[in-house]
Amino acid sequence: MVRTLVTGSAGRFGRSVVTALAEAGHEVIGVDTVPGTPADAAETLPADLTDLGEAFEVMTRFRPDAVVHLAAIATPFSRTDAFTFRVNTQLAFNVCEAACGVGAERVVVASSPTVIGYGAPGWKPSYLPIDEDHPVAPGNAYSLSKLVAEQVMTSFARRSPTRFAAVRPCFVVAPEEWAGAPTQSGHTIVERLDRSELAGTSLFNYVDARDASDLVLTLLDRLPELPSGEVFFASAADALAREPLAELLPRLNPATAGFAAGLTGSSPAFSSAKAGRLLGWQAKHSWRTEIGESR
């Protein structure tokens, strides 16, 4: 049985990852500073992983085969910029350092599509849909911290036998949020659909937490076959919008006008083609089937 340690196991994404791993037969160790890790975890431990000593103590106690690093200040502007940057970058370094130090075989690090820079003043895409080759241009402390986390991951991938990858999950929608629970932005999914400006800044990206968890699980299984240090977007196969983005994006973000024309029908602004090509992964859930297009 694979022993997998999940940091941030009580978060909206972490809960789904823990459940997916447990259902796949992993022995899951949940680590979080707050309660809420699903009962599917074999064991849970509160720990401050921004302290390198605690990170090593956790890894030494459990000696995991694999690590999924999700712990972070999860949204921009929810804390001060200095705190967000310090916590997220320190977490990434400490977890990677400690995982390598105890000989973990595989590590998946959660990044963010915000590293692309959308929403920052003056930002415009180089092309649409956005994929992993698109230039990064972080526009705030949160997105900068996530880019640094990716760079920490690639640094360890170059010099360690541990296999690494990073996932950029789009706006994560937990299962209960389809039923009307508030999302990480504080709005419901229906509100984001009805008020285009709410999702427009993020180019209407989203992914069901179960689909993103499936990508993490797939990555853990396939990491030995992949070049270490790869980065993958996790996006739904459609946009979180009632209108085609070819019409909607130019109205809300004129800088996208020259590139949005190809986003016909329900096509999203982010591409997960790389995950499909290298891993055979594709998102299975859509807002259209989870809540219905009439709502």
Give the model confidence (pLDDT) of 232-250 as tens digits.
999 999 999 999 999 999 9
pLDDT digits (tens, 9 = 90+) for 75-96: 898 899 999 999 999 999 999 9
Domain residues for 108? 3-178+205-237+269-284
Between CA 181 and CA 185, with CA 182 as vertex, the angle to 5 degrees is 160
CATH number at 54 reads: 3.40.50.720
In a domain, 291, yes or no: no
Q: What is the pTM of this model?
A: 0.96
Residue 23 falls inside a structural domain: yes
User: Is residue 184 in a domain?
Assistant: no
Q: Residue 32, Cα to own-chain centre: how many angstroms?
A: 17
Residue 244 lies in a domain: no
**CA end-to-end span of the chain:** 43
- The one-letter amino acid at 141: A
Q: Per-residue pLDDT averaged across 172-199, rounded?
A: 94
Residue 259 lies in a domain: no
Ranges 52-66, 266-280, 281-295: which has the least confidence: 281-295
* Domain count within the chain: 1
Question: In angstroms, rounded to a whole number, what is the distance separating the alpha carbons of residues 220 and 253?
Answer: 37
Contacts of 122 (CB under 8 A, 6+ apart): none
What Rg, from alpha-carbon coordinates, does the chain have? 18
